[in-house]
Amino acid sequence: MLPLRLEDIAVTFPGLPAPVLSIPSLEIAPGETVAVTGPSGSGKSTFVNIVTGLERLQSGHARWGETDLAGLAEGRRDRWRGENIGLVMQDFHLFPGLSAYDNVLLPARLAYAAGHDRLARAKALLDQVGIARHDQKIETMSRGEMQRVAVARALLREPAIIVADEPTASLDSASGAVVGQLLRELAETLGSTLIVVSHDERLVAPMARRISLLSGAVIADERKG
Ligand X SMILES: Nc1ncnc2c1ncn2[C@@H]1O[C@H](COP(=O)(O)OP(=O)(O)OP(=O)(O)O)[C@@H](O)[C@H]1O
CA-closest candidate to residue 197, choices 15, 46, 96 = 46
How would you label 12-29 residue by residue, b for 16+ Cβ within 10 Å and e otherwise? eeeeeeebbbbbeebebe
User: How many residues can be counted in the chain?
Assistant: 225
Q: Which is nearer to ligand X, 32 or 165 (CB)?
A: 165
| # chain residues binding ligand X, by CB under 6 A | 11
Q: In the complex, what is the shortest distance from the CB of residue 179 to ligand X, in angstroms, rounded to a whole number?
A: 18
Minimum CB distance to ligand X smaller for 107 or for 176: 176
d(CA 189, CA 63): 24
Q: Which is nearer to ligand X, 107 or 180 (CB)?
A: 180
Cβ proximity to ligand X: between 178 and 197 the closer is 197
Q: What share of the chain is helix, strand, coil (3-state, %, to 5)?
A: 35, 25, 35
User: Shortest Cβ distance from residue 3 to ligand X (Å)?
Assistant: 23
Is there a contact between 88 and 147 (Cβ–Cβ < 8 Å)? yes
In the complex with ligand X, the residue whose CB is nearer, 45 or 103, is: 45
Phi, psi of 132 (to 5 degrees): -85, -40
* 198 contacts ligand X (rule: CB under 6 A): no
Report the nearest approach of ligand X to the CB of residue 100 (Å): 28
Per-residue x/- marks for ligand X, 10-29, CB under 6 A? Answer: ---x--x---x---------
In the complex, the smallest distance separating the C-beta of residue 11 from ligand X, rounded to whole angstroms, is: 8
Q: Do residues 113 and 157 touch, judged by C-beta distance below 8 A?
A: yes
For the bound state, the minimum distance from the C-beta of residue 126 to ligand X, rounded and expressed in Å, comes to 29
Nearer to ligand X, 55 or 145 (CB): 55
Which C-beta is closer to ligand X: that of 11 or that of 186?
A: 11
Dist. CA 139–CA 161, nearest whole Å = 28
Q: Yes or no: say if 36 and 45 are a contact pair by the CB < 8 Å rule.
A: no
CB of 162 to ligand X, least distance (A): 18
Q: Minimum Å distance from CB 6 to ligand X? A: 15
Site string for ligand X, 34-53 (x = CB under 6 A): ----x-xxxxxxx-------
Q: Which residues of 132-166 are buried (b: 16+ CB within 10 A; e: fewer)?
A: eebebebeebeebbbbbbbbbbbbbbebbbbbbbb
3-state secondary structure of 142: coil
Q: Which residues in the 56-75 window bind ligand X by CB under 6 A?
A: none
Provide the binding-site residues for ligand X, judged by CB under 6 A: 13, 16, 20, 38, 40-46
